[in-house]
Structure 1
Amino acid sequence: MLFPEDHQPGVDLILPDFSYIADRLDDVVAVVLTHGHEDHIGAVPYLLRLRADIPLLGSQATLAFVEAKAQEHRITPYTLAVKEGQVERLGPFECEFVAVNHSIPDALAVAVTTAAGTVLHTGDFKMDQTPLDGRLTDLRAFARLGERGVDLFMVDSTNAEVPGFTTAEREIGPVLEQVMGGATKRVIVASFASHVHRVQQVLDAAHAHRRKVALVGRSMVRNMGVARDLGYLHVPDGVLVDVKAVDSLPDDRVVLMCTGSQGEPMAALSRMANNDHRVRITTGDTVILASSLIPGNENAVFRVINGLTRLGARVVHSGNARVHVSGHASAGELLYCYNIIKPRNVMPVHGETRHLVANADIAVKSGVPRERVVLAEDGVVVDLVNGRAKVVGAVECGYVYVDGSSVGEITDADLKDRRILGEEGFVSIVVVVDSATGKVVAGPEIHARGVAEGEAVFDSIRPQIAAALQEAVAGGTTDAQLQQVVRRVVGRWAGGKLRRRPMIIPLVVSA
């Protein structure tokens, strides 16, 4: 699942387009999930709508998050919980699971062995040497697989442009405690709803400063409930309270843990910034954005920061304090892995084009021949044959937009219309013509929205519309084509006179 960007207005979620496997769903033997972050499991219920009995494999925590999400869609998935060191046979695929460290508990890498060779997929990972849960990335398993022979290494590219090693999670705890200790009123912390480690650090810091914590947001409450039940989240006695109880507590004894760190319009923090939430931001409140910026979300996040600051809050974020560290391996860690595994072929995954290219360059520096590094986008078909990975074709795939209750109804053309409406405005023209002569009987009536000029500016175009219609009818233009005549005339005029390209909706009525 993807987050919508600025050029996709009104979209809530972006899902993969499953149509390319719609007629082959019976060939799917299983879906293997590396971890429980939303961008890796968010579309699972939509796939299960097409075939509900596809087996899902993942760690205990990952499957618990998936099952809770599927329950909201009234789906009970068929699941098999696996753990590091476990090997499962799925049709022609033998999958071995390897522990990796990430910003969510129970993340796994997967080694897939087939007759064609062995593929090692890291999932999202880093090499934190002092993880909060004590669960290290299993480099010994990586080395063992490398000695056996890894034919294709598919490796997380998110931080490939970042030099060195990713900072340890433990360095965040003292910063959170310091910020919380200096806060005089309420503290609101925004994070991903699945970031169990960060929520744990907030609970510990709140306990140290004798504050109560309330979880805000449906997904935050759901996921932390799952994490607590499974023992991944340890809540100090008496710290966690219901959000309704916060109103009766002094401001300097309150911490609110909410969603919305990426500026999502319907998330709790964005609504607080817009004064559209039961929690009202007041002067003296401290807001902590405990996450990094996902590329494409910058404008939305800064909009939220400005809104919170305008309301009098002190906003602490990764740009002015170390309140977040990445969950992804930096360039030094990636190079370390290449040298341990020594793969025959490499295919960078999980990142934008610039991240994939940077990761490819690291692979080449480690000794992988350039011709054995595959750079592929969504839909590209890669075959592994005789120890070589090659691009052999592509399938048509794209995005499915979730907009409110509709799934897949919004198209790229609809989004283009929304962008035009938002950026250029809207002009409607209603005109009644004599079907025999083409003369204008009534109108043209012109109404505009989102256009800065006053109504009088359209006076000069009315005679041009009338003349064009009369000429078109005389030339044998049909009624259905007259609307296009009006659209062209008004479009040329708006481009030259207003220097704008508004959406133009003509209505021509024949009398």
Structure 2
Amino acid sequence: MSHPHPELTTPPPLPPGGVRIVALGGLGEVGRNMTVIEHEGRLLIVDCGVLFPEDHHPGVDLILPDFTYIEDRLDDVEAVVLTHGHEDHIGAVPYLLRLKPDLPLVGSTLTLALVEAKLKEHRIKPYTLGVAEGQREQLGVFDCEFLAVNHSIPDALAVAIRTEGGLILHTGDFKMDQLPLDKRLTDLRGFGRLGEEGVDLFLVDSTNAEVPGFTTPEKDIYPAIERVFAKASRRIIVACFSSHVHRVQQVLDAAAQNGRKVAVVGRSMVRNMGIAEDLGYLHVPPGVMVDIKKLDTFPEDQQVLICTGSQGEPMAALSRMANRDHKIEVGEDDTVILASSLIPGNENAVYRVINGLMRLGANVVHKGNARVHVSGHASAGELLYCYNIVQPSNVMPVHGEWRHLVANGALAQQTGVAAERVVLAEDGVVVDLVDGIAKITGAVDCGYVYVDGSSVGGTTEALLKDRRILRDEGFITVVVAVDSSTGRITSGPEILARGFAEDTSVFENVAAQIKSAIEESTARGVTDSHQLQQVVRRTVGGYVGGKLRRRPMIIPVVIEA
């Protein structure tokens, strides 16, 4: 557990008619988006996603929102509204439904199909309600209207939540592509209509708030992809997110135009593209898609592979190819396209993969050297348009690191929103909308919950600290046997070190220091093995810290003989 703001106390009871907003993820980070909205004792959850681990989370598979705030109130939850099908918005749904499997899931057709496939792996059959843009549903005390928004996955929705305490508009992830591939525009007319009605609190995607101007249209990257296909002399491997249907569509179109066959690699990619094709969101040109087992029957200059791993994930297909740990071997003059952006924190992992592929002789095309990716989020110019159209009374930037939230809040102020009406909050901070005014009223415990193999929540910060020490500093084990009656050393100390470049002879000097420290302690009457272990730990720690400039994990073992 962690308390985000020690200066904030537990929030007071929500005043009658008020609306409470608590983000359990997604504020101050890019991922694990989850917002809880409370009104008249009832709860509405918007999104429930995961955050992917970084280098300082060794051994962690996923990071979940902290459900502690709502764990005892799951019977008060009217529904879980899912804005779109990306992992950082739906990935934690199975872990929430483990606590209460009958929580209603509300979302668009594609979003629910992706969630249901994920839940099937967890053996959970959910209760779902499919909605579409323009639809309005009464979810208990929450009157929800859904609006189309354009994003890097089809069928994304914004949600307007009407309550007696005010109207809240949550954009979800969105951009304002004016020429989208699926012809599905962000519903600015709907935003304007809600603005006329009066938006009391506007929750706005902040991911690209620092980027000036307008996000490049998705269609503008096709010429770059087509040029790569036309020039490639051998096999082409495209890595992108398994949910990026628009990007896969462009790859399929480029393959068809250049007489190539396409195979999909990776369980999540195969699953998601199958769902998108079955539902009509992905249009596969006739004769282009083939089974991976049959791809080798075609000449290499006719082969295209689509796989996951664009973020350098260690176990994803592309990373394993770069490490020669995959049945598909990348060779000289193969072309690899990384058709995605870099999620903050993944840069080093991605560059390791790029270097590994280039060492194998591949030509690597990425956002840095060709326009093979555009963002799915609104840049500053688009956000300004939205603020001017909606003219909200209060603004709460969401979905982004702190710098993104601050930049988004500044944009709101530029359009005339008063500074005191722009609420900058982090995970766990409680924001109450009362009498048309939104303000911070307290904070609740809200930490990271780690998925570590089959363990959920068992991994702690202390455990991760130990793993980081073992990874970065190594460990030393010292075994000493002492006479239980006299306290004199009868055997040892035996010193075993791992993770050190230095020869073990460097520890010969410390052995004498350990003997001396134990003898001094026993002379003072210290005979308890636990206390003697602490003496050994301090002695070894002082030696390696001073002589070797290292801070390893030290495991002393004192045996009473």
Q: What interval of TM-score do these two structures reach, taking the shorter chain for normalisation?
A: over 0.9
Q: Among the aligned pairs, what percent are the same residue?
A: 73
For structure 1, the 5+ residue unaligned runs are none
Q: What is the CA deviation profile of residues 135-157 of structure 1, one whole-angstrom value per residue up to 9, with x for unaligned ones?
A: 00010000000010000000000
Measure how far apart 1:27 and its partner are.
0.8
SS of residue in 1 equivalent to 2:340: coil
Q: Work out whether 1:364 is the aligned partner of 2:438.
A: no
Q: Matched residues in 1 for 2:66 and 2:291: separation?
A: 39
1:349 aligned residue (376, 391, 398): 398
1:80 aligned residue (129, 135, 140): 129
Measure how far apart 1:20 and its partner are.
2.1
Q: Work out whether 1:418 is the aligned partner of 2:467.
A: yes
Q: Matched residues in 1 for 2:403 and 2:118: separation?
A: 32
Q: What is the CA deviation profile of residues 181-212 of structure 1, one whole-angstrom value per residue up to 9, with x for unaligned ones?
A: 11111100000000000000000000111111
Matches within 5 A, 1:342-491: 342-477=391-526, 478-491=528-541
SS of residue in 2 equivalent to 1:384: strand
Q: What is the CA deviation profile of residues 460-487 of structure 1, one whole-angstrom value per residue up to 9, with x for unaligned ones?
A: 1001111111222232332222111111
SS of residue in 1 equivalent to 2:223: helix
SS of residue in 1 equivalent to 2:542: helix
Q: What is the CA deviation profile of residues 264-317 of structure 1, one whole-angstrom value per residue up to 9, with x for unaligned ones?
A: 111111111111111111111100000000101111111111111111111100
* Alignment partner, residue 188 of structure 1: 237
Q: Work out whether 1:256 is the aligned partner of 2:301.
A: no
Amino acid across the alignment from 2:134: G
Q: Work out whether 1:284 is the aligned partner of 2:310.
A: no
Quick check: 148-157 or 238-247, which moved more?
238-247
Matches within 5 A, 1:166-315: 166-315=215-364
2:67 aligned residue (4, 14, 18): 18
Amino acid across the alignment from 2:264: L
Measure how far apart 1:410 and its partner are.
1.6
For structure 2, the 5+ residue unaligned runs are 1-49
Matches within 5 A, 1:121-200: 121-200=170-249
* Alignment partner, residue 169 of structure 2: 120
Measure how far apart 1:437 and its partner are.
2.7
Q: Is 1:16–1:43's contact at 8 Å kept on the other side of the alignment?
A: yes
* Alignment partner, residue 495 of structure 1: 545
Measure how far apart 1:405 and its partner are.
2.2
Measure how far apart 1:16 and its partner are.
1.1
Amino acid across the alignment from 2:300: D
Q: Matched residues in 2 for 1:77 and 1:472: separation?
A: 63
Measure how far apart 1:83 and its partner are.
0.5
Q: Matched residues in 2 for 1:240 and 1:473: separation?
A: 76
Measure how far apart 1:431 and its partner are.
1.0
Amino acid across the alignment from 2:471: G
SS of residue in 2 equivalent to 1:241: coil
Quick check: 131-140 or 298-307, which moved more?
298-307
* Alignment partner, residue 29 of structure 2: none
SS of residue in 1 equivalent to 2:539: helix
Q: Matched residues in 1 for 2:485 and 2:122: separation?
A: 57
Amino acid across the alignment from 2:375: S
* Alignment partner, residue 149 of structure 2: 100
Amino acid across the alignment from 1:359: N
* Alignment partner, residue 27 of structure 2: none
Q: Matched residues in 2 for 1:426 and 1:180: separation?
A: 50
Measure how far apart 1:18 and its partner are.
1.1
Q: What is the CA deviation profile of residues 403-449 of structure 1, one whole-angstrom value per residue up to 9, with x for unaligned ones?
A: 22222222111111111111111111111112233222111111111
Measure how far apart 1:173 and its partner are.
1.0
Q: What is the CA deviation profile of residues 15-55 of structure 1, one whole-angstrom value per residue up to 9, with x for unaligned ones?
A: 11212211111111100000000100000011000000000
Q: Matched residues in 1 for 2:230 and 2:102: separation?
A: 50
Q: Matched residues in 1 for 2:145 and 2:169: separation?
A: 9
Quick check: 35-44 or 13-22, which moved more?
13-22
Quick check: 263-272 or 404-413, which moved more?
404-413
Q: How many residues align?
A: 511
Amino acid across the alignment from 1:491: G
Q: What is the CA deviation profile of residues 91-125 of structure 1, one whole-angstrom value per residue up to 9, with x for unaligned ones?
A: 11100000000000000000001111000000000
SS of residue in 2 equivalent to 1:461: helix
* Alignment partner, residue 38 of structure 1: 87
Quick check: 50-59 or 397-406, which moved more?
397-406
Q: Is 1:213–1:255's contact at 8 Å kept on the other side of the alignment?
A: yes
Amino acid across the alignment from 2:125: T
Measure how far apart 1:400 and its partner are.
1.4
Amino acid across the alignment from 2:316: A
Q: Matched residues in 1 for 2:291 and 2:537: separation?
A: 57
Q: Matched residues in 1 for 2:61 and 2:488: separation?
A: 47
Q: TM-score, structure 1 length as denominator?
A: 0.99
Give RMSD over aligned pairs: 0.8
Q: Matched residues in 2 for 1:351 and 1:476: separation?
A: 58
Quick check: 277-286 or 15-24, which moved more?
15-24
Q: What is the CA deviation profile of residues 344-387 of structure 1, one whole-angstrom value per residue up to 9, with x for unaligned ones?
A: 00000000000000000001111000011001111111100000
Quick check: 213-222 or 3-12, which moved more?
3-12
* Alignment partner, residue 109 of structure 1: 158
Q: Matched residues in 2 for 1:249 and 1:488: separation?
A: 66
Q: Is 1:438–1:471's contact at 8 Å kept on the other side of the alignment?
A: no
Amino acid across the alignment from 1:485: V
Q: Matched residues in 1 for 2:380 and 2:56: separation?
A: 31
SS of residue in 2 equivalent to 1:80: strand
Amino acid across the alignment from 1:509: I
Amino acid across the alignment from 1:290: A
Q: Is 1:438–1:472's contact at 8 Å kept on the other side of the alignment?
A: no
Q: Is 1:439–1:466's contact at 8 Å kept on the other side of the alignment?
A: no
SS of residue in 2 equivalent to 1:255: strand
Q: Matched residues in 2 for 1:145 and 1:36: separation?
A: 25
Q: Matched residues in 2 for 1:182 and 1:462: separation?
A: 66
Answer 1 or 2: higher relative contact order, Cα 8 Å, separation at least 6. Answer: 2
SS of residue in 2 equivalent to 1:103: coil
Q: Matched residues in 2 for 1:204 and 1:335: separation?
A: 34
Q: Is 1:437–1:470's contact at 8 Å kept on the other side of the alignment?
A: no
Q: Matched residues in 2 for 1:448 and 1:479: separation?
A: 22
Q: Matched residues in 1 for 2:402 and 2:525: separation?
A: 52
Amino acid across the alignment from 1:177: E
